[in-house]
Amino acid sequence: QKEVEQNSGPLSVPEGAIASLNCTYSDRVSQSFFWYRQYSGKSPELIMSIYSNGDKEDGRFTAQLNKASQYVSLLIRDSQPSDSATYLCAVNRAGGFKTIFGAGTRLFVKA
C-alpha cells in the first residue's frame, strides 16, 4: 500500500464548476497535510496546508481533513482553465520534516 494515494485522473470539469480532488494516507500519526499544484514542465508550488480536522478555505480553494478516515481533499470552486495542472497531495509524519507525496491527480478545466 502506498503511503499517500491519489486517483491519477485525468479529472475533467467544465469552467465554473467545482473540482474535487481526493487523497488518502496510510500513516495514522501523520500531522501535516499539503496540496501542491504543478503545471506541466514546472516545479510544484504549495497552494494549501491543513493541520486540523475540518475545512480550511483560501479564496477559491478549500482543503478538507478527516484524520479518523485518513482522508484529505481539495475543492476548487469556480474552476478556471488556468487551474488545469497536476495536484499533488503531501503528508508530513509526526515529529519529522520529511514530506511524502502522492502520485498526483491531473485536472483539466474545459473552457
Where along the sequence are the contacts to another protein (CB under 8 A)?
8, 32-34, 36, 42-46, 49, 88, 90, 92, 97-104
Residue type, 44: P
User: Smallest gap, in angstroms, from Cβ of residue 91 to another protein?
Assistant: 8
> Considering the complex, what minimum distance in angstroms separates the CB of residue 35 from another protein?
11
CB closer to another protein, 62 vs 105: 105
Please, which residue, 42 or 77, has the CB nearer to another protein?
42
Q: Cα separation of 24 and 26, whole Å? A: 7
Q: What's the min distance (Å) between Cβ of 32 and another protein?
A: 4
| Residue closer to another protein, measured from CB, 76 or 102 | 102
